[in-house]
Chains A and B, each alone.
Chain A
Amino acid sequence: MTTDDAIAVRALRKTFGAGKAPVVAVDGIDFTVARGGTTALLGGNGAGKTTTIGMLLGLLLPTSGTITMLGEDMLRHRHRVLARMNFSSPYVDLPRRLTVRENLTVYAHLYGLDRTAERIAALARDLDITAFLNRPTGNLSAGQKTRVALAKSLLNDPEVLLLDEPTASLDPDTGDWVRGYLEGYRARTGATILLASHNMAEVERLCDQVLMMRQGAIVDRGPPADLIARYGRTTLEEVFLDIARNRRADGAPAGQGEAAQ
């Protein structure tokens, strides 16, 4: 890891279950994410993306390996680091009965923020959620919920932002708005973003690095344009299909590891 890395993962492994047939969810992966960069974690269902993000967030303990986040050992000092990062996913609801303002107030307290009301008002203006600040979160549309989740994830001005499918189930217009907002946030703050997504166009637009996962391992990596060129394809989606179906860059089936390079 260098001081320019926001995230450094070394030999990270996670197995579930014990005895004769433990399930290897993440199989000794290594990667770094440079400060200010946007990296995508890609892979089919069950590739190990959610498990990896769970470990990066401290929700899941690795079986072995190390995670260094913003220069801190995540396994030993996660509470120090968690104040400087945040997370958003359309699959993780905020309490539905609470209004948007109440939810944001609760999380502002959890992140130890001062001048909570001002912070919420500023974010609400930024993300265009002022009109429904006093509505129960459960009554919002998918697009509105995504913007509220994004507001929650930006409350503490995170230096590292982890996003799990940030535009899943959004209409193209709202999805484009979210992508534009994230681009602007990174440019404005220099934050580091790691996102998992199944939307390859989104990844091509937002990310300068891609980590391709299959069966718990990182099987390829690089800037989207490099991957597309290396596989002789025209889109990242085609590259994704090659990797998910275990085809080499030249079209022949590939083995494990980063053999396609």
Chain B
Amino acid sequence: MTGPVPGTAGRRIMGVLLRHLYVLRSSWPRLLELAYWPTVQMIMWGFITLFFQSHSSWVAQAAGVLISAVLLWDVLFRANLGVSLTFMEEMWSRNLGQMFVSPLKPVELVGALMLMSTIRTLISVTPAALLALPLYDVWVFALGPPLIAFFANILVFGWCVGLAVSGLVLRFGLGAESLAWVAVFAVAPLSGIYYPIATLPEWLQPLSWALPTAHVFEGMRAVLFDHQFRWDLLFRAVGLNLLYLALAVVFFLRTFHVARVRGLLLQQGE
């Protein structure tokens, strides 16, 4: 008897993707939940923008700055959740052990988590971004090609946070699952989402510049206020993201190895 030819990595990654797309397709509350919060955020920050336009000369210079910022922040939040919730879905359904008795490799799961995160993030923020035009006359796509660079960098940093959270959940169990919702907020004050990094105390600024998000939000403001694309900020964001992504993948794979040593793949669920 001859066995089947081991499939390609792409096919296995597609298998994991299909598993999560089927879940999304069969559950409209999940789809609604994805788009709900970014839309609520956009509506709220739209009103804040309207108020500040008549009370703040800074915001008045670029009407879309707050809405663009909140949407990019939601990209980070959703990219993180896209990785960590997709991973936890496997733990909730006690499917991780079953998946890893197939030829699926841990690094392929990482690839699938990132792709699923991209899909979930696009589903999350696209309706809010489109609604900003009729509601507040803000067309975030007017940022043009820089928007793709900002989106990609924020997305990748969201993956990094999500992979770190997934590793911790694998190591410490579902008791650590709330990290998926709160961990990303640790970087919010330092990211300069709604204010320039120069607003922070001087001693805190180096810490802020160590985050790719700080470079992205500064870059976004440069485009909106000065109509200038800061390549230096983009390069730094890309460099930092490459570093953090490598660290996050190594951390996740190392945790997976520890899980195999300790038998954690055999003891999942609540």
Q: Does A112 contact B (CB under 8 A)?
A: yes
Inter-chain contacts of B265 with A (CB < 8 A): 54, 59-60
- Whether the Cβ atoms of A58 and B100 lie closer than 8 Å is yes
A94-B98, A102-B22 given; A109·B11 CB < 8 A: yes
8 Å CB interface, B193-209 against A: none
8 Å CB interface, A90-118 against B: 92-99, 102, 105-113
A60-B266, A84-B3, A95-B19 given; A112·B93 CB < 8 A: no
Among B97, B103, B262, find the residue whose CB has the most chain A CB atoms closer than 10 A. B103
Among A51, A93, A190, find the residue whose CB has the most chain B CB atoms closer than 10 A. A93
| Interface stretch (choices A75-83, A121-129, A174-182, A216-224) | A75-83
> CA–CA, A54 to B101, complex, Å?
9
Q: Does A50 contact B (CB under 8 A)?
A: yes
Inter-chain contacts of B18 with A (CB < 8 A): 102, 105-106, 109
Q: Does A210 contact B (CB under 8 A)?
A: no
Nearest A residue (CB) for B6: A83
- Whether the Cβ atoms of B94 and A93 lie closer than 8 Å is yes
- Whether the Cβ atoms of B101 and A106 lie closer than 8 Å is no
- Whether the Cβ atoms of B97 and A59 lie closer than 8 Å is yes
Name the distance in Å between A54's Cβ and chain B's nearest Cβ.
Answer: 5
Chain A residues touching B, range: 35 or more
Nearest A residue (CB) for B268: A92
Inter-chain contacts of B263 with A (CB < 8 A): 16, 51, 54, 59-60
8 Å CB interface, B1-46 against A: 1, 3-8, 11-12, 14-16, 18-19, 22-23, 26-27
- Whether the Cβ atoms of B102 and A189 lie closer than 8 Å is no
Inter-chain contacts of A95 with B (CB < 8 A): 19, 23, 93, 95
Name the distance in Å between B116's Cβ and chain A's nearest Cβ.
Answer: 13
A–B complex contacts, Cβ < 8 Å, 14 sampled: A50-B266, A61-B261, A79-B6, A94-B95, A97-B27, A98-B23, A106-B18, A111-B7, A111-B102, A112-B6, A112-B7, A112-B12, A113-B4, A158-B3
| Interface positions of B (Cβ within 8 A of A) | 1, 3-8, 11-12, 14-16, 18-19, 22-23, 26-27, 93-95, 97-105, 257, 260-263, 265-266
Given A95-B23, A106-B15, 6 new contacts (CB under 8 A): A58-B100, A83-B103, A86-B101, A102-B19, A102-B22, A110-B104
